[in-house]
């Protein structure tokens, strides 16, 4: 990219349109993509519609919708005219949406028809205009509704500055109090450029988007970055279930995908591992290291074929990747890359190049970012991860005191994560500082590490380790269908035998956990979590609900 052009979204995008006007940009899977020239035309037409609704620079405009090409058009139209995008997760509750709209003083909202009922339930709010995400039809406004016309174009010039506010991102995260993260045009556009140090992106790349665009991870890396590199992005139009995702992969043949660990972990546990454990002979051979590596390499080739055969970069972020799954990916020679960041850093801070494998590391700091370990422990090298760079947020909206707590006067952002840097500058994350459990003798217990071990036990889908009345307790969500199939004979004999067998499984699981952790990380109780844990957009369990 030409660094003489300012780091604003419209300036960077204008450069791409002039260079790749005829190249494909956004599309649903199975449909003809808009070329960049047509995409730019649609953005300009939507800016004209917003002007007709009297939306001004600085006004807040929300987006409440599943992923689709129009999501990106709306986001760019809002930010290109100097207004502020407020992306809302489709899974937000009515109360959360109401609180965010009122807190941000949002005047207009783009909303998909499937989510209209959520807006209809709002009691009091600042909304003046409601616009359909499907066709940009204005179905609610204060006066006569203007009509979106693709051939129209705004005649105004908006002088967007790098430090101008582009978006306010609200996230429930793992606490019960959502905060509005203010990201500038420079925060977002420079992160999209600096992330290219992990893997260069060009006009020949094809992205398949499977994470919510309303989350900064997918927004910056899975949308803004490809749009500022002339690439194409495809959307599923439905939830990424296997029946939807697998044929889409074969059709798009993506070169790049961004995902959360849960996706690749499910594929490993449900499709790959069973192939190596069903038969006794294969199970025994798989225990031999050099045979295991050979089998994993064969499985890796099949995995690449599953992803369409042309995948060159599989980005993983949002949570810690299971150690055994990562070991498989390394031995399978699968082109994965782990990254680390937060919404407050737009989001990327560290990232690994493909094939530059370092087990359980997120890689070094990306270009333009400084990382340091604050209050480093002399023995372990661990401490809170602090970061500094042009991608650090402007602050929390309407929360100057909270902002001052996390950003130092000299620009260091306190991540709240515990980690260490090795001699080569590779970052290793231990967990969230607020999640650390202090043992009876003052030892640090990292629940995420125990959970990683629990999740490798057969029939465990997910788990959470909590501290209850001085005891470490493992809450486990089991694959009940598998267990019922496995012990169907006992179930037929009666509930008593079935209950006894379930208790044996839990005892076996407890022994397995305690054999694989240090003394002060051993759990005293394992209990069943009957329903899946509630999660954030990046599939992290909302711990505050269970502690």
Taking alpha carbons only, the member of 84, 90, 124, 74 closest to residue 104 is: 84
Question: Going by C-beta distance under 8 Å and a sequence separation of 6 or more, which residues neighbour residue 325?
Answer: 261, 264, 265, 268, 269
**Taking 60 as the threshold, does the pLDDT of residue 172 lie above it?**
no
Amino acid 450: pLDDT = 92
Q: Read off the DSSP letter of residue 424.
A: T
pTM of the model: 0.89
Amino acid 53: pLDDT = 97
Domain 436-545, CATH number (from 3.20.20.80, 3.30.300.30, 1.10.10.10, 3.30.1360.170): 3.30.300.30
**Taking 90 as the threshold, does the pLDDT of residue 125 lie above it?**
no
CATH topology match: 9-184 vs 436-545: no
Average pLDDT, the chain: 92
Classify domain 260-432 at the CATH superfamily level: ANL, N-terminal domain (3.40.50.12780)
Classify domain 9-184 at the CATH superfamily level: ANL, N-terminal domain (3.40.50.12780)
The 3-state DSSP class for residue 502 equals: helix
Model pLDDT for residues 3-54, shown as the tens digit of each residue: 577 999 999 999 999 999 999 999 999 999 999 999 999 999 999 999 999 9
Map out the domains of the chain as residue ranges.
9-184, 260-432, 436-545
Percentage with pLDDT > 90 across the chain: 74
Model pLDDT for residues 345-391, shown as the tens digit of each residue: 999 999 999 999 899 999 999 999 999 999 999 999 999 999 999 99
CB 452 within 8 A of CB 320: yes
Q: Position of tokens 């803004």?
A: 224
Taking alpha carbons only, the member of 465, 438, 449, 462 closest to residue 526 is: 465
For the CA atoms of 38, 40, 42, 43, what is the dihedral angle to 10 degrees?
A: 170
Strand order from edge to edge, sheet including 179-184: 138-140, 129-132, 108-111, 60-64, 84-88, 165-171, 179-184, 395-396
- What's the pLDDT band for 494 if we cut at 50, 70, 90? low
**Taking 80 as the threshold, does the pLDDT of residue 539 lie above it?**
no
Stronger pLDDT, 223 or 2, i.e. the higher one: 223
Model pLDDT for residues 192-226, shown as the tens digit of each residue: 999 999 999 999 999 999 999 999 999 999 999 99
- Bridge partners (DSSP) of residue 138 are 131
Amino acid 175: pLDDT = 42
**Taking 80 as the threshold, does the pLDDT of residue 179 lie above it?**
yes
209-223, 267-281, 293-307: the lowest-pLDDT one: 267-281
């Amino acid at each position: 990219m030409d660094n003489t052009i300012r780091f604003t979204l419209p300036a960077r995008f204008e450069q791409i349109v002039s260079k790749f006007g005829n190249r494909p940009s956004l599309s649903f899977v199975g449909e003809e993509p808009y070329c960049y020239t047509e995409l730019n035309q649609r953005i300009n037409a939507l800016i004209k519609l917003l002007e007709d609704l009297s939306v001004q620079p600085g006004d807040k405009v929300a987006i409440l919708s599943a992923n689709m090409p129009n999501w990106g058009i709306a986001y760019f139209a809002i930010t290109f005219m100097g207004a502020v995008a407020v992306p809302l997760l489709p899974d937000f509750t009515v109360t959360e949406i109401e609180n965010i709209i009122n807190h941000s003083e949002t005047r207009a909202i783009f909303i998909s028809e499937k989510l209209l009922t959520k807006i209809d339930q709002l009691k009091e709010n600042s909304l003046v205009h409601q616009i359909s995400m499907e066709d940009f039809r204005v179905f609610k406004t204060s006066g006569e509704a203007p009509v979106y016309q693709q051939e129209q174009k705004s005649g105004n010039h908006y002088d967007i500055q790098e430090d101008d506010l582009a978006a306010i991102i609200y996230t429930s995260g793992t606490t019960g109090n959502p905060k509005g993260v203010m990201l500038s045009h420079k925060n977002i556009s420079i992160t999209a450029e600096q992330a290219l140090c992990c893997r260069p992106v060009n006009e020949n790349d094809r992205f398949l988007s499977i994470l919510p665009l309303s989350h900064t991870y997918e927004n910056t890396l899975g949308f803004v970055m490809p749009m500022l590199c002339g690439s194409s992005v495809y959307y599923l139009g439905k939830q990424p279930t296997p029946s939807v995702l697998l044929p889409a992969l074969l059709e798009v043949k993506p070169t790049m995908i961004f995902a959360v660990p849960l996706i690749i972990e499910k594929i490993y546990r449900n499709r790959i591992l069973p192939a190596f454990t069903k038969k006794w002979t294969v199970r025994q051979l798989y225990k031999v290291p050099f045979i295991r590596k050979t089998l994993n390499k064969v499985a890796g080739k099949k995995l690449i074929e599953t992803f369409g055969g042309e995948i060159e970069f599989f980005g993983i972020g949002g949570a810690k990747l299971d150690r055994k799954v990562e070991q498989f990916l390394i031995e399978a020679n699968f082109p994965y890359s782990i990254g680390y960041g937060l919404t407050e850093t737009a989001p990327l801070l560290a990232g690994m190049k493909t094939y530059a494998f370092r087990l359980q590391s997120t890689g070094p700091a990306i270009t333009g970012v400084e990382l340091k370990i604050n209050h480093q422990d002399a023995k372990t090298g661990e401490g809170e991860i602090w970061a500094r760079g042009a991608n650090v947020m402007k602050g929390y909206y309407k929360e100057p005191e909270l902002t001052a707590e996390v950003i130092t006067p000299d620009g260091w952002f306190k991540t709240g994560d515990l980690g260490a840097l090795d001699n080569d500058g590779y970052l290793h994350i231990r967990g969230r500082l607020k999640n650390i459990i202090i043992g009876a003798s003052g030892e640090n217990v990292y629940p995420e590490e125990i959970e990683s071990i629990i999740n490798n036990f057969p029939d465990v889908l997910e788990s959470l380790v909590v501290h209850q009345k001085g005891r470490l307790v493992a809450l486990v969500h089991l694959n009940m269908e598998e267990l019922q199939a496995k012990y169907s004979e006992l179930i037929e004999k009666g509930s008593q035998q079935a209950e006894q067998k379930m208790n044996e499984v839990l005892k076996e699981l407890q022994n397995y956990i305690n054999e694989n952790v240090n003394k002060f990380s051993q759990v005293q109780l394992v209990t069943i979590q009957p329903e899946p844990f509630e999660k954030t957009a990046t599939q992290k369990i909302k711990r505050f609900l269970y502690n």
